[in-house]
Structures are given as structure tokens and as C-alpha cells.
Amino acid sequence: MPELSPDWPGLRAYIDGQRAGSDPLPLALLHLHLRRHRSLRARLGEDVLRALSERVLQRVWRVLRTQDRVLVLSDSDLLIALPEMLSAGHARLAAQALQRALLEPVQFDELILRVQPEIGLALAPLHGADASALQRAAAAASEAARTAAGGIAEATGAPAPLLYADLARDLRANALTVEFQPIVRLRDGRRIGFEALARWRHPRSGERVPPALFVVQAEEAGLVPELTRWSLQAALREFKPLHAADPSLHCALNLSARAFEDSALVEQIESALAIWGLPPAALLLEITETALLEEPQRNARQLSRLRALGVGVALDDFGQGYSSFGYLQFLELSLLKIDRRFLERLEGARERGLVQSMIQLAHRLQMQVVAEGVETPEVAGVLAQLGCDFAQGWHFGHPQPAAHWLAGG
């Protein structure tokens, strides 16, 4: 269950704390305004308004995750902090889930009330580098949501820092690099593949730009086609010697949610495999819940074409989304990756039972399971006992260039 922040300084400290560190995931701040909410006080009285506000909060709780935070600004306004967003689409999915929950009528005896949510969305670091800047951007977006289609508006304005031109230039110059993290089979510790991870050092500062930042900026700047082409070519080029040394290995590669919008995606993948002389079974594409659920019919067609080609498809960061798990039975997926957050308290019976249920669900749907973020032998042992098939994380190896693993790393 999410926590209620007591005041703005408390929420601000939480947001800035989430943004600290060397490689934080994007964080979204939603400003939720209930239109004409205050006018209900004059018509229906303070008691009804208070009861309605409590119902609104209950519905918000049902949608949010444990790590999310809520600040009640007034009886008609909430601030909601959503850390660990996988993309801008992930944040939009959360806003849409909140809106759906709040648009359902609220009944008090024979009285039926409807609220009109307007949601402004700001994403760090795109729309603000700190909590205060993010709050201003979310408030402005909430005003814009009043006239926006669907009642949801995203903040506008220049991100900080602006990396669009530098990223476009370095993609054309093939200046990004790839590192590989091993994926192992838990029952015997055998290495069965690698996840390819893009790395980028800024050309002027020399500092490594977090993937969470440059992928989101690629989405905002319309650079996803270029990033997808570069990722496919670079990952398969670097992976080819690893596959030659052990043909049983596969290469797992993340795709942006926006990549599925490209009708030529499957042909592009087929061409890249042919260029580097790799069989389709050597490639496993990792796609988040957000990517799959934004346009489910289109994405289901893309999945069918990929599976027909012989490429594996994994659902990445399972459990991070704001949707039910019922959609899994309708998608052609070969593998499910459990988000690392579910491994943080595996010593608890409840958490262990939840992970075991995920594994059993995947197996019933003919999917194998990878656990991400495994950092200790104890966690690896528990996962093996629960029936998890594969795992990756620092316990099995940090991301390294392909040459490291070819040399016996």
C-alpha cells in the first residue's frame, strides 16, 4: 500500500531522495485535480464532501504501488509521486489507470456522484531536475488537462539537460557501446545467455548518461527508430563471437515502447539477424508491460509476427505496471522477467508466496521465468526452491564488454 506524505517538505525530500544516486530511473509526479469538487460542498454539505474525498483516496490506493507516495493538497487536489518509471509511457499508463478508477460513479445510499479528474503529468528529469521544478511542471500540466482530450496532459518545456542533438550525433557515429550481463539457469548454474545493455558517455562531459535518461529522451525526440537500429546492429555484432563460442547462448535485448509503432520492425530484425549470420532463436526481445498495453491489438500482431520469425519475446519488469495480469493469457510470450523489487524481502512468507504465485502462473501459461536483480547466493537459492528457471544480477556477474566474457570472465 502506498504511503501518505504528511506535507510538501516530506514529499519533496522523498522525490529528491529517489533522484539521488548514479543511475536513477525516471520519476513521475502527477497533479490530480477534481473538477467542480468544491461546488459539491455548497450543494451537499461538508459531510458528503468528506466522505467523497475518502472514497477517492481509497480508489487511488487500489491503483498505486507500495513505493508510490501521495500528498493531499486540498479536498480537490492530490500530488502523487511515482518512482521507478520505465518510460514516459509507463507514467501515462499509471495516470490512465487512476482516471479509470475515479470515473466510476460513487454511490451514497440513493445519491450517485461522479467526479471529473484532471491529471497533469511531469517526468523527472525531462520536465524538472528537482522536486520543486517537477511540482511546478505538474501543476501547469494539470491546468492544461482541463481542455486536453481524455483529461490527462503531460508537461511541456525543455528537459534538463538537453541531450537530443548529442544523442542523435552519437547514434549516427556509432559512438555508444554495449555491455553484456549473464543469465544463468538456476538448477545447475549454467550460463544460457546474456542481456545486451546500451552504454553512452556524453561526448563533452565524458560522464556516463544513465540509460533511463537517454532512452526517455530518445522517445521524446523521435529518435527511437535510430536507437532501435543501432541497438540491433551493435548488440548482434558484439554477441556474434559469444554465440560462435557457444551456439546455445541467446542475446536478450530491450525494446522501447515506441519501437512497436514501427510497421517495419520485424523486417528490420530479420535483416539484422541475416547481416550477422545469427539464427532467430539467438535473439530474445524484452518488452515492458507498458509497451504491450499502450496499443494491445497492434502489439499482439507484432508479437505474432516475431514469434513466426522464430524470435523469442520476454515480458520485462513484470509487476511494475498498473494493470491486471489477465492480459498474459492473450499474448504470445516465451518468457517472463520478475522485477527486482519483488526480491527485496524474500525472507517474508507473504513476499515469497507472491513470487511463487508469479512463477506458477507463468509456468501454467507455458512461459519460463527469469528473476532480475539477484545479488546474493541466498536469494538465488530461494528462487531455485520456488521453481524459478533462470536469474541474472550481480551475484552472477556485472555487465561487461563481450571481450571480458570471451576471455573466460
What are the catalytic residues? 372
Residue-wise pLDDT tens digits, 33-73: 887 666 666 677 777 777 788 888 888 988 888 889 999 88
> What pLDDT is stored for residue 321 in this prediction?
57
Collapsed DSSP state (helix, strand, coil) of residue 263: coil
What is the C-alpha separation between 217 and 330, in angstroms, rounded? Answer: 31
What is the C-alpha separation between 73 and 165, in angstroms, rounded? Answer: 39
Q: Would you mind telling me the total number of residues written for the chain in this entry?
A: 409
Residue with grid cell 482530450, as numbered in its chain = 149
Interhelix angle 224-245/164-172, rounded to 10 degrees, is 40
What is the location of CATH 3.30.70.270 in the chain?
3-154
CB-facing half-sphere around the CA of 127: CA atoms within 13 A: 24
What is the C-alpha separation between 301 and 335, in angstroms, rounded? Answer: 18
Domain 164-406 has CATH 1.25.40.10: no
Give the burial string for 193-207 (b: 16+ CB within 10 Å, else e).
bbbbbbebeeeeeee
What is the location of CATH 3.20.20.450 in the chain?
164-406
What is the C-alpha separation between 373 and 346, in angstroms, rounded? Answer: 13
Residue with grid cell 576471455, as numbered in its chain = 407
> What pLDDT is stored for residue 159 in this prediction?
47
Cut 0.85: pTM above it = no
What is the C-alpha separation between 389 and 387, in angstroms, rounded? Answer: 6
CA nearest 391: which of 363, 368, 407?
368
Residue-wise pLDDT tens digits, 323-340: 556 667 767 788 999 888
> What pLDDT is stored for residue 171 in this prediction?
92
> What pLDDT is stored for residue 160 in this prediction?
44
**Angstrom distances, CA of residue 340 to CA of 203, 214, 344, 370, 394:** 31, 22, 7, 10, 12
Ranges of the chain with pLDDT below 70? 1, 21-23, 36-42, 109, 157-162, 290-291, 293-294, 319-327, 330
Find out whether 36 and 225 touch, Cβ atoms under 8 Å. no
Secondary structure element (H or E) that encloses residue 79, with its range: strand 77-82
Residue-wise pLDDT tens digits, 229-276: 999 999 999 999 999 999 999 999 998 878 888 889 999 999 999 999
**Angstrom distances, CA of residue 310 to CA of 168, 280, 304, 333:** 31, 5, 10, 12
- For 3-154, CATH number? 3.30.70.270
Residue 336 corresponds to which amino acid?
A: L
Residue with grid cell 505496471, as numbered in its chain = 321
